[in-house]
Structure 1
């Protein structure tokens, strides 16, 4: 049988730790506490730095979110200014310039995930369309029969609803 030593209590602790080792054990424990406190402070500081950096990143992302789109819009503005500065009165040349400017704009919209909504013939969707009026028309009711103004989506979120005229059943 092995002899069991009782759990140390304040009364018998002095009996289990020799007097010469007690100061060394206390010093080691105090050193360990100091190391743990230092590690805790460093972890807190690192966490605070990460939180601050993340907050700065969010601010920068919001501030410069339109940078790519704005860069794509600068050539469109340049083309429009060039069209206004043209004094040749050549309608064909002006029309070609406007068509090229429109192509630049469409490319800029595509790069920014702006999608055109032209719902002619589609079922009316109040989330994407704004009905201006209803008219009697052949075919199914509640369908778009005329688009007065195209709508636009940004990543499937409505930027501007399409203004439409909707069909209703004949009386």
Structure 2
């Protein structure tokens, strides 16, 4: 073999070695690039799954809130109407109190007012409007509004002794507090005076 052929062969071997080395480097680089791309894609998938779960949870919360709002609307939808009817009940009760006993001329009118009042009260009861009439019960600031306190030794302190205006609740929610007079016990006598 001639020197030229040896040199060409060595150059050829050297070129092949360099080509293999660069191919291996490219393969390693592409493997790293593929590994990086795979890791990035895996992270993106995990982020998207988390985002999807958060959106599902948020939608469930929105659905629950909407259902609760609809339930409250059904439950308390008659609140304004009931407040208006409570005033009518008060007026009918005042009309009954104004009738004098034994007056034959107004007996038919009294019976008509009584029937109207009982019909109105039964209609309100169908919609869960209940009367708060706390005579002889302990004072409850959540249901009663104290108009005055009266000394009274016959009943325990903080007991309702008179109701000036009945209260009403709708499905357990207060529509109007009962206006009451509350006992504050017997007066104390100072013996040193």
**What residue in structure 1 maps to residue 145 of structure 2?**
130
**Is residue 109 from structure 1 mapped to residue 128 from structure 2 by the alignment?**
no
Question: Which residue of the partner structure matches residue 100 of structure 2?
Answer: none
SS in 2 for 1:99: helix
- For residues 155 and 131 of structure 2, the distance between their equivalents in structure 1, rounded to whole angstroms, comes to 25
**Cα distance in 2 between the residues matched to 1:139 and 1:117:** 20
Q: Which runs of 5+ in 2 are unaligned?
A: 1-29, 31-58, 93-104, 188-193
Number of the residue aligned with 1:165: 181
Give 1:157 shift.
Answer: 1.1
State whether structure 2 residue 107 is matched by structure 1 residue 95. Answer: no
Alignment partners' CA distance in 2, 1:123 and 1:65:
31
DSSP-derived class of the 1:104 partner? helix
TM-score (normalised: structure 1): 0.51
Q: Where in structure 1 do 4 or more consecutive aligned residues deviate above 2 Å?
A: none
Does the alignment pair 1:141 with 2:157? yes
Residues 94-141 of structure 1, C-alpha deviation per residue, up to 9 Å, x if partnerless? 111111101110111111100001100000000000000001112210
CA distance in 2: counterparts of 1:65 and 1:156, whole angstroms: 14
SS of 2:186's partner is coil
Q: 1:168 to 1:65 in 2, by over 3 A?
A: closer
Kindly report which structure 2 residues correspond to 1:75-90, keeping only aligned pairs within 5 A, or say none: 90=105
Identify if the C-alpha distance between structure 1 residues 157 and 139 changes in structure 2 by more than 3 Å, giving closer, same or farther.
same
**Structure 1 pair 108/145, CA: closer, same or farther in 2 (3 Å)?**
same
Residue correspondences, number: 109
Structure that is richer in helix per residue: 2
- Cα deviations by residue, 1:49-102 (Å, 9 ceiling, x for unpaired): xx7xx79x94xx57x934xx79xx8xx9xxx9xxxxxxxxx5122111111101
Give the aligned partner of residue 156 of structure 1. Answer: 172
**Which sections of structure 1, spanning at least 5 residues, go unmatched?**
1-10, 12-46, 81-89
Task: State the TM-score, normalized to the length of structure 2.
Answer: 0.45
SS at structure 2 position matched to 1:141 = coil
